[in-house]
């Protein structure tokens, strides 16, 4: 019995991303999403919710993501995600997108895969946001590298290395 527990703990610690490594490689991904010039990834209605949630005090690693997931109807105050509701929300959003990546998002960002998209102590809401953002950026054909977006492609590639 204890062998199974030890194996589970070892696998979880190996699969989890180190917080310092994560922040160094992926900490500026909020900036990078604005650098995709393919199409608007953020619908106007979502901008209002994002603005409200950006006012939430606390560490940006979870509080703002919990606010967003809760307001959109697929999150709870403790940061847990209702995966069925989140999938429906993302599927509805992706119907209007030029990028046909819903199946990739479903495969990469849900179930046991979600845990690898952030440090072990990070909430599910933040891991889901990070995973979806990475999938959208990977699909971006026109990632600007000018002005405030200088280095965006390098930022994306460095962050992706943690999850491949």
Residue 17: the pLDDT is 61
Residue 64: the pLDDT is 86
Residue 13: the pLDDT is 37
Residue 132: the pLDDT is 87
Q: Is the pLDDT of residue 153 over 70?
A: yes
Within its chain, how far is the Cα of 26 from the centroid?
A: 10
What residues contact 74, with CB distance under 8 A and at least 6 apart? 81, 82, 83, 85, 86, 88, 89
Decide: 21 and 128 in contact? Cβ < 8 Å: no
Higher-confidence residue: 83 or 40? 83
* Domain map (residue ranges) of the chain: 18-161
The tokens describing 63, both together, are 């509080």
Residue 53: the pLDDT is 83
Higher-confidence residue: 164 or 102? 102
Name the band, by pLDDT with cuts 50, 70 and 90, for residue 149.
Answer: confident
Residue 7: the pLDDT is 29
Higher-confidence residue: 137 or 2? 137
CA neighbor of 33 nearest in space, from 159, 163, 162: 159
For the chain, the first-to-last Cα distance in angstroms comes to: 32
| pLDDT tens-digit map of 62-110 | 888 888 899 889 998 888 899 999 999 888 877 766 667 888 899 989 8
Residue 6: the pLDDT is 28
For 51, 91, 101, the CA distances from 19, given in Å and listed in that order, are 26, 30, 28
Q: Is the pLDDT of residue 15 over 70?
A: no
Q: Degrees (nearest 5) of the Cα angle 162, 100, 89?
A: 85
Query: In this structure, how many other beta carbons lie within 10 angstroms of the beta carbon of residue 47?
Result: 11
């Amino acid at each position: 019995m204890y062998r199974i527990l030890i194996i589970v703990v070892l696998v979880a610690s190996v699969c989890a991303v180190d917080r310092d490594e994560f922040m160094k490689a992926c900490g500026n991904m909020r900036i990078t999403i604005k650098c995709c010039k393919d199409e608007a990834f953020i619908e106007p209605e979502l901008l209002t919710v994002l603005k409200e949630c950006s006012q939430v005090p606390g560490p940006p690693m979870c509080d703002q993501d919990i606010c967003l997931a809760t307001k959109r109807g697929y999150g709870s105050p403790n940061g847990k995600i209702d995966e069925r509701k989140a999938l429906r929300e993302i599927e509805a959003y992706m119907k209007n997108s030029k990028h046909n990546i819903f199946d990739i998002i479903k495969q990469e960002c849900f179930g046991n895969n979600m845990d690898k998209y952030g440090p072990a102590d990070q909430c599910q809401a933040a891991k889901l946001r990070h995973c979806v953002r990475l999938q959208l950026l990977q699909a971006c054909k026109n990632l600007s590298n000018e002005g405030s977006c200088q280095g965006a492609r390098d930022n994306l590639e460095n962050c992706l290395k943690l999850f491949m």
